[in-house]
Amino acid sequence: MSETVHVVEPVERAGPPPRPAGRRNALSLLRDALLRRREASVLIVALALMAYFQFTKSIFLTHDNLRNIAQATAPNAIVATGIVLLLVSGEIDLSVGMTFALAPFLMHYFADFYHVPAIAAILLALIVAAGIGWFNGFISIVLRVPSFVATLGTFYALQGFLLTTSHAYPAEIPKGMEGAIRGWLGAADWAELSWCVVIVVVFHVVLTRTRWGLHTISVGGNIVGATEAGIRARRIKIGNFMIASVLAAFAGIMEAFRVHTIDPNLGGGAQIPFLAISAAVIGGTALAGGSGTIAGAFVGALVLAELQDGFNLIGISANPYFLILGGAILVSMVANQYLSRLRRTGRT
Amino acid sequence: MATDSTPIPTQAPAPAEAASDEVLRVEHIVKRFGALTALSDVNLRLGRGEVLGLIGDNGAGKSTLMKIICGYHRPDAGRIFVNGEEVALRSVDHARAVGIDTVYQDLALVNELSVYHNMFLNREKVWWPFLNNRRMRRLAEEHLADMGVGIPDVGVEVAKLSGGQRQAIAVARSVYSDAKVLLLDEPLAAMGAKEGALILDLVRDIKARGEVSIIIIAHNYGQVLEVCDRVNLLQHGEITFDKRAADTSLVELNDLVVAEYRAARARRSAGG
């Protein structure tokens, strides 16, 4: 997250330059990359998995299979983007799982029951999602209920609302959305992944290169200090709750378009926040607040998708997948702790 | 009594100074918390470029007074003048806007951010919508070098720095933000001798420039006395002692504090 580009300084520095540039070999470069860039270590894992699965099953890197991996990566990575913003600001949102499933229904209600035009119906669903995010933020930040508990509550409340209004039955994609809209927003081959990459890049830049990102890190790292510096912590945190909800809703709508049905069990409920948190954590985001990486979460989501897909290809049943997933989370958390200690105490 | 307009009411005879040389004057400040009177009648003044040591035992009201001057608490009575003009401080932001800045004991630094991001926290230089990191980095380097704070690389996370360096950055940040009055809350607390010396040097540097006036709040006044022009002693909600640092000594201050402690104990045992 710190700047790697060294600007040529006209000013004389006190003391010797921090790092002699001459005596660097590949190994120390790698070590530095691992220490400085949390994304680097998980990227190595992603590439290693790719090589391993390609070696065992040569269809792994074919067009069709890559599309499968992309489809598994994209929704998780989009939800994880919002989750990282929240984790960095020191909060969490479990209700994204239900926002994800509810948003396509809201879109369907608006379009089919209230005859709202297609695009407007989608936008309205996203606006309602922003409202859900605001509500989560209000309960957590203004009423001071820990966000884990607050969003657990909204998770079930939204699930109840969803099952009641849909009678727990799937619905069809509204007629006006078939064709171009459905294709652009998820059904076309690489649509979901393209949106995902755009979202990840945009929010990665937001987190690392804008005031919003800097203030998000500040309120997560030292909320008292950030407030004393005049940062409006409530606004930042509630804003991030809203971003997380809207992203989850958008991912849900695209997923519904892709699977071509609006299903109340879309995404598997609690599976969504859990996988998103897993992707974030494997990608190098700590739950303690103050640090995290969205690019890392994207690679984390990719690793999860590769594992799932690779296991399928090899013919291992889906059940040990969770064993691997659990192991991966634990290993990456331990590594994260170790690396951040190194980062703190070691030289830059 | 708050409306009493007699100028500069201090208990001890103070050297006469023109009002224009005064950046801060506090008159007859009273603050109560329910039944407890934290400050009964505080009068304090701070000259331009002056370093004032505000000392007192725990519970004497130091932090209450500091929180009133920095805009966090509002006094129940009394007046505050900044550069000769009366101000009613509404908030910490307001106090900052009129030039009163505070370096808190917890420093208000974000460990996870780099030195230069901390220097510009909430006053970031932007090239909208992006942070202008180059500019902040360069300005932070220049400013820290200018103040004689040696940080080898302003790109490192603050978490990696020592306590003294962190304190120095917090002070440098306040000076950089055009503070006219700087409140340092226990700047030497939990700091080794070497680290403490770094801070005292920084205070001397600021004093030498004469642009910023400083109030150092401390309950351990031994080291603080070295850099102060004047010392005020706060006891049970009043300033009971106001002398130039050159005219007093550690021994005298010690005697005063101990005498106060004995008197309080005597009162307690007489009452109970």
* Assigned token pair, A334: 């331990």
B246 vs B225: CA distance, rounded Å:
9
- The CA distance from B130 to the nearest CA of chain A, in Å, is 5
Q: Which amino acid is at A339?
A: L
Choosing among A218, A219, A227, A291, which should be mutated to test the B contact, i.e. which has the most B CBs within 10 A?
Answer: A218
Q: Which of B121, B123, B136, B167 is the mutation pick for testing A, counting most A CBs within 10 A? A: B121
Residue A238: CA count within 13 A, CB half-sphere: 16
- Chain A contact for B145, CB < 8 A? yes
- Contact assignment for B109 to A230 by CB distance below 8 Å: no
Distance from CA of B128 to the nearest CA of A (A): 8
Two tokens at A280?
């974030």
Instruction: Find, in chain B, the residue whose alpha carbon is nearest to that of A4.
Output: B155
The model's pTM = 0.83
Q: Answer whether B15 touches A (CB < 8 Å).
A: no
Q: Give pLDDT, residue B175.
A: 84
Half-sphere exposure for A153 (CA within 13 Å, toward CB): 12
**Pair B131, B125: CB distance under 8 Å:** yes
Does B139 contact A at CB distance below 8 Å? no
Q: Which two tokens stand for residue B12?
A: 């001890």
Question: How many Å apart are CA B15 and CA A291, to the nearest integer?
Answer: 53
Residue contact A18–B152, C-beta within 8 A: yes
- Residue B130: which H helix or E strand, with range? strand B130-131
Decide yes or no: CATH 1.10.10 for domain A41-345. no
| Residues B247, A22: Cα–Cα separation, whole Å | 58
User: DSSP characters for B164-197?
Assistant: HHHHHHHHHHHHHTT-SEEEEESTTTT--HHHHH
Cβ distance A221 to B121 less than 8 Å, yes or no, reads no
Whether the per-residue pLDDT at A348 is higher than 50: the answer is: no
The pLDDT score that the predictor gives to residue A275 is 93
CATH class of this structure's domain B19-107+179-265: alpha beta
Q: What is the ipTM of this complex?
A: 0.82
Using the beta-carbon criterion (under 8 Å), do A14 and B152 form an inter-chain contact?
A: yes
> Are the beta carbons of B131 and A3 separated by less than 8 Å?
no
> Do residues A273 and A83 lie in contact, with contact meaning Cβ atoms separated by under 8 Å?
yes
Q: What percent of chain A has pLDDT over 90?
A: 68
Nearest by CB to residue B122, choosing from A16, A229, A290, is A229
pLDDT at A36: 64
Helix H or strand E segment including B37: strand B36-47
Indicate if the alpha-carbon torsion angle A161, A166, A171, A177 is positive or negative: negative
Contact flag B113-A217 (C-beta cutoff 8 Å): yes
In B137-147, which positions are buried (b, 16+ CB within 10 angstroms) versus exposed (e)? bbbbbebbbeb
Q: How far apart are the first and last CA of chain B?
A: 33
Chain A within 8 Å of B8 (Cβ-Cβ)?
no
User: Whole-number mean pLDDT of chain A?
Assistant: 88
Q: State pLDDT tens for residues A43-74.
A: 888 999 899 999 998 999 999 999 999 999 99
Listed residue (A81, A3, A54, A11) closest to A276, CA to CA: A81
pLDDT of A335 higher than 70: yes
From B153, B145, B156, B161, select the one nearest B202 (Cα to Cα): B145
Which residue among A221, A344, A348 sits closest to B110, beta carbon to beta carbon?
A221
Taking the C-alpha atoms of residue B238 and residue B54, their distance in angstroms, rounded to an integer, is 11
Determine contact, residues B225/B247, Cβ cutoff 8 Å.
no
pLDDT at B108 (0 to 100): 80
| A222 to B110: CB separation less than 8 angstroms, yes or no | yes
Euclidean distance between CA atoms A187 and A189, whole angstroms: 6
pLDDT, tens digit, for every residue of A258-316?
999 999 999 988 999 999 999 998 888 888 889 899 999 999 999 999 988 988 898 87
> Is A107:A125 a contact under the CB 8 Å cutoff?
yes
Cα–Cα distance measured from residue A178 to residue A182, given in angstroms and rounded to the nearest whole number: 5
**Closest residue of B to A232, CA-based?**
B122
- Grouping H, G, I as helix, E, B as strand and the rest as coil, residue B76 is coil
Q: Name residues of chain B where pLDDT drops below 70.
A: 1-20, 106, 271-272
pLDDT digits (tens, 9 = 90+) for A194-244: 999 999 999 999 999 999 999 999 999 999 889 888 899 999 999 999 999
Q: What is the residue type of A248?
A: A
Domain residue ranges of chain A, discontinuous segments joined by +: 41-345
- Across the interface, whether the CB atoms of B110 and A231 are under 8 A apart is answered no
Separation between Cα atoms, residue A256 and residue A173, nearest integer Å? 8
Has residue A345 got a pLDDT over 80?
no
Chain B positions touching A221 (Cβ under 8 A) are 110-113
Angle at A38 between CA A32 and CA A43, to 5 degrees: 95
8-state DSSP, A262: B
Residue B134 contacts A, CB cutoff 8 Å: yes
Question: Are B207 and B227 a contacting pair, CB within 8 Å?
Answer: yes
Contact A221 B153 (CB under 8 A): no
Closest CA to B264 of B60, B73, B123, B93: B60
- Is A323 strand, coil or helix? helix
Q: Which of residues 69-98 of B touch A (CB under 8 A)?
A: 92-93, 96
The count of other CB atoms within 10 Å of the CB of residue B194 is 9
- Report the C-alpha gap between B135 and A95 in whole angstroms: 40
Strand partners for B183: B102, B215
- The single residue listed with the structure tokens 């307009």 is B5
**Cα–Cα distance between B75 and A265 in angstroms, integer?**
59
- Give me the torsion for CA of B206, B211, B217, B222, rounded to 10°: 40
- Cβ separation of B110 and A226 shorter than 8 Å? yes
Closest CA to A196 of A206, A188, A186: A186
| Letter string b/e over residues A210-243, b meaning 16 or more CB atoms within 10 A of that residue's CB | bbbbbbbbbbbbbbebbbbbebebeebbbbbbbb
- pLDDT at residue A17 is higher than 70: no
Q: Which residues of B204-243 are buried (b: 16+ CB within 10 A; e: fewer)?
A: eebbeeeebbbbbbbbebebbbebbbbbbbbbbbbbbbbb
Nearest CA in chain A to B129: A210
Is B134–A215 a contact, with Cβ atoms under 8 angstroms apart? no
Would an 8 Å CB–CB cutoff place A8 in contact with chain B?
A: no
B110 touches chain A (CB under 8 A): yes
The CA distance from A293 to A88, in Å, is 9
Beta bridge partners of B46: B24
Contact between B121 and A229 using a beta-carbon 8 Å cutoff: yes
Specify the pLDDT at position A33. Answer: 67
Closest residue in B to A215 (Cα–Cα): B122
Burial grade of A300 (CB within 10 A; 0-12, 13-18, 19 or more): buried
Q: In the numeric block, which tokens belong to residue B178?
A: 């055009």
**Which of A276, A330, A294, A280 lies closest to A94, judged by CA?**
A276
Q: Where are the domains of chain B?
A: 19-107+179-265
CA distance A119 to A128: 14
Beta-carbon pairs below 8 A across chains A and B: 104
What's the rounded Cα separation, in Å, for the pair B166 and A120? 52
Q: What is the pLDDT of residue A96?
A: 97
Residue with tokens 């106090």: B95
Looking at chain B, which residue has its C-alpha nearest residue A344?
A: B160
What is the spatial distance between Cα B44 and Cα B27, in angstroms, rounded to a whole number?
A: 7
Three-state DSSP class for A178?
Answer: coil
- Please check whether residue B121 touches A, CB under 8 A: yes
Contacts of B159 in chain A (CB under 8 A): 344
